[in-house]
Amino acid sequence: MPSSSNDLFQRAQQLMPGGVNSPVRAFRSVGGTPFFTKKARGATLTTVDDRELIDFVCTWGPAIHGHNNPVIRDAIAKALEKGTSFGTPNPYEIEMAELIVELVPSVEKVRMVNSGTEATMTAIRLARGYTGRDKIIKFAGCYHGHVDSLLIKAGSGALTLGNPDSAGIPDSFAQETIVLPFNDSQALEVAFQEFGDQLAAVILEPYPANVGLIMPKEGYLQSLRDLCSKHGSVLIFDEVMTGFRVSAGGVQQRDAITPDLTALGKIIGGGLPVGALGGKAEIMDFLAPLGPVYQAGTLSGNPLAMAAGIASLRMLQESDIYDRLEKMGQQVQDAVTTAAQETGLPIQVPQVASMFCIYFAEETVENLDDAIATDTDRFNKFFHTCLDNGVYLPPSKYEANFISTAHEQTAIDQACDVIVKAIHGL
């Protein structure tokens, strides 16, 4: 049986579109052949070619405790002894809901779903059902999963493939979605002046992390909150990435901005498929079976995913965990900033808690257009140099990097050394 990544990718391309089950994994943006992973532990991936890589992708966010964490693994094993799926309510769902309500400031009630995409899709449907309005605002570069009405000017894999507007979306769907540039307060004001009484919701990643990592300007999120309140529109934070990662309560806790609805995922599954939608009880009670907005899922609240997620969230309640993650993120930021100064290369390194991004650009990246304008060729060379020397960064300039609690100091030191040498080699 072929065991190399090259052999496996050749087989995969005969069986799956592009040889992958999620587009960015195909390395189309950075070039070359993707590697295949045979096992992972802590902060390290081991490829089928027996290469060990320090991992800053962390399964695209969920692995905040690293790979194959023993506490999460034991929680899954104990749940597995009782069954894989029941199709009935189970006690794990209650414990997970209690944790989310306790930790996330805006959430009074929660509905478990199976993915972040399903969470955002349900949030939009719920907002429309609650308000009786049709139009929504989203922001260019914010990716909210592959929902028809939201896959317009999206970030992440859509940009990586050079096709930000997916085929297969009817014009009538797109007409109900108003796309604005992120960080542009004037554009927000104009949109609300023109469409305020038609807007069911505004949805955004409060820290857009599917276009690299973009930080909101001071006061921007508060102005958005104020406009939604004034016009009766539902404010939806997509915290699938930032939830439980930038703080225990996400961006809304860190920046003290309270949305009406919040989409969650990734970390609350401990590495298993999961999503959740939570928010004000008044709005959440519009969901069936109490209300007229229908949503259902065969595997929603799956006991294995709930057990893994509960274990993940419990570990995040340790007192110093976010301080340690912040320090590691700042160490990477400092190393890259110093290397940029030494070489004179134009590099921006936005960083918050355990998330960071490396843009090859002169100025701070504030929106999608700025991100697109960053140096792709230089990033791709940098990516491959890091990978060749044992550090795995996301294979696209439009993706955020993640640090886990499993990244020990030696791994951060080693990775910083590789990254700095790669910058010097450009």
* DSSP codes joined into one string, 181-238: -TT-HHHHHHHHHHHGGGEEEEEE-SS--SSS--PPPTTHHHHHHHHHHHHTPEEEEE
How far apart are alpha carbons 185 and 216 in whole angstroms?
Answer: 11
Question: Which residues are the active-site residues?
Answer: 143, 238, 266
Q: Has residue 89 got a pLDDT over 50?
A: yes
Q: Give the model's pLDDT for residue 166.
A: 66
Q: Has residue 161 got a pLDDT over 60?
A: no
Q: Has residue 322 got a pLDDT over 90?
A: yes
Q: Give the model's pLDDT for residue 283.
A: 98
Task: Please give the C-alpha separations between residue 346 and each of 80, 108, 214, 426, in angstroms, as whole numbers.
Answer: 51, 45, 17, 11
Domains of the chain: 5-68+319-424 (3.90.1150.10), 70-315 (3.40.640.10)
pTM of the model: 0.95
- What residues have CB less than 8 Å from 102, skipping those under 6 apart? none
How far apart are alpha carbons 397 and 283 in whole angstroms?
Answer: 37
Q: Has residue 285 got a pLDDT over 80?
A: yes
Tell me the per-residue pLDDT of 364-419, one tens digit each, with 9 for 90 and over.
999 999 999 999 999 999 999 999 999 999 999 999 999 999 999 999 999 999 99
Token pair of 205, please? 């990643």
pLDDT bracket for residue 155 (50, 70, 90): low
Q: Give the model's pLDDT for residue 152.
A: 65
Tell me the per-residue pLDDT of 173-231, one tens digit each, with 9 for 90 and over.
777 888 899 999 999 999 999 999 999 999 999 999 999 999 999 999 999 999 999 99
- 371 in Cβ contact with 141 (< 8 Å): yes
- Give the end-to-end CA distance of the chain in Å, rounded to a whole number: 39
Higher pLDDT, residue 152 or 11: 11
Q: Residues of the chain with pLDDT > 70: what percent?
A: 95
How far apart are alpha carbons 252 and 262 in whole angstroms?
Answer: 9
* Residue in the block written with tokens 């592959």: 146
What's the whole-number mean pLDDT along residues 70-98? 97
